[in-house]
Amino acid sequence: MITSAQIRAGRGLLKWTQGTLAARASLSVVTLNMIESDQVAPRIRTLDAIRCALEGEGVRFIGDADEGFGVMLRAQPPRAA
């Protein structure tokens, strides 16, 4: 499971707005806002869509309940010329 803080941090690493992530994960901005502000308990498939959108751009979710949670951005391979 990813946390609301990890979602916000992942967006920050990519410099994405809520609108960008919502569009990429096929959800509404209102829904994403409610998830990020812990106003709702999201469905598993909604979290999966968010995770896939962020991971597809290089965000990696790290940590666990004992050590804490975080995110990191994988280095992108150089683009072919």
- Mean pLDDT, rounded, of the chain: 94
Distance CA 20, CA 5 (A): 17
Residue 37 amino acid letter: S
Specify the pLDDT at position 75. 79
Tell me the pLDDT tens digit for each residue of 39-51: 999 999 999 999 9
Residue 31 amino acid letter: T
Tell me the pLDDT tens digit for each residue of 67-77: 999 999 997 76
CA distances from 77 to 4, 20, 26, 27, 40 (A): 28, 23, 27, 29, 37
Specify the pLDDT at position 76. 72
